[in-house]
């Protein structure tokens, strides 16, 4: 009888518990999250390349590839829900899973906005001039923010996450610079209003991508400290234990 019971639990472990443990171990390596971050980085970088080239066909490819980002987001979401329902993680593990759920929502929106930029390029047959190069700097800055925020999550690096949040000010300043450049182009007669509005919309999408990257970094901070600044009541102070938590 003991042998039968032992065999039953052995089979249960092999068929149900071990796969769950493997899934959680896989999640802890953040492989899927890193892949989604890489897809976002590629999409942002490619949109600016396409803007410089004025390549409509390449822009249409970016729009189609947004489906890959969406599919990866759903895949990670399913994994997180399985872990929560079947593994019932607590404390730091639960924060990691719940933070990942929030992060992938922002990543999916980054993919959408890269596709929106590509759609503007495609519909308007748009090509950037060398007088609007600060848009390129915005693209590079947002790529850095996405890359650094995911890296901070993987390494549990609080300082790196906070640096990403602070770096969003750089993207905001670049947006103001682009806006002023476009105003000057229109005033000098070097660009018509429609062209300027299209480029301003693209710059605004890059600015929004920076906001989403900052959101990701804030959830990284939450996964490490258990504190999300925007969700705390006014005057909230962290305890010494929360400040020192690793």
Looking at residue 16, its pLDDT comes to 46
Could you give the angle at the alpha carbon of 226 between the alpha carbons of 77 and 208, nearest 5°?
55
| Residues contacting residue 156 through CB under 8 Å, at least 6 positions apart | 223, 224, 246
Report the candidate in 4, 9, 37 with the shortest Cα–Cα distance to residue 148. Answer: 37
- pLDDT bucket at 243, cuts 50 / 70 / 90: very low
Q: What is the pLDDT of residues 82-130, one digit of tens each?
A: 888 887 888 888 888 899 999 999 999 999 999 999 999 888 887 777 6
Q: CA torsion, points 76, 115, 41, 131, in degrees to nearest 10?
A: -160
SS3 232: coil
Measured distance CA(239)–CA(32) in Å, rounded: 33
Looking at residue 229, its pLDDT comes to 77
Do residues 57 and 28 touch, judged by C-beta distance below 8 A? Answer: no
Question: From the CB of residue 59, how many other CB atoms can be counted at a distance below 10 Å?
Answer: 25
pTM of the model: 0.82
Asked whether residue 220 carries a pLDDT value surpassing 80, the answer given is: yes
Looking at residue 234, its pLDDT comes to 56
Average pLDDT score, the chain: 83
CA 183 to chain centre: 31
């Amino acid at each position: 009888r003991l042998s039968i019971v032992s065999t039953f639990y052995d089979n249960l472990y092999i068929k149900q518990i071990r796969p769950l443990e493997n899934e959680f171990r896989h999640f802890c390596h953040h492989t899927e999250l890193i892949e989604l971050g890489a897809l976002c980085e590629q999409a942002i970088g490619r949109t600016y390349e396409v803007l410089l080239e004025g390549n409509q066909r390449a822009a249409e490819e970016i729009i189609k590839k947004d489906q890959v980002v969406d599919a990866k987001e759903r895949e990670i979401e399913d994994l997180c829900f399985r872990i929560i329902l079947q593994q019932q993680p607590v404390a730091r593990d639960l924060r990691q899973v719940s933070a990942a759920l929030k992060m992938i929502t922002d990543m999916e929106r980054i993919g959408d906005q890269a596709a929106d930029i590509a759609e503007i390029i495609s519909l308007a047959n748009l090509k950037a001039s060398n007088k609007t190069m600060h848009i390129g700097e915005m693209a590079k800055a947002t790529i850095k923010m996405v890359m650094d925020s995911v890296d901070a999550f993987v390494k549990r690096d609080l300082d790196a996450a906070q640096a990403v949040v602070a770096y969003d000010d750089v993207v905001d300043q670049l947006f103001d610079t682009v806006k002023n450049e476009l105003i000057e182009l229109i005033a000098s007669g070097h660009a018509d209003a429609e062209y300027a509005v299209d480029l301003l919309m693209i710059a605004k999408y890059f600015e929004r991508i920076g906001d989403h990257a900052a959101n990701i970094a804030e959830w990284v901070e939450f996964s490490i400290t258990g504190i999300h600044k925007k969700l705390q009541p006014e005057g909230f102070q962290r305890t010494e234990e929360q400040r020192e938590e690793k």
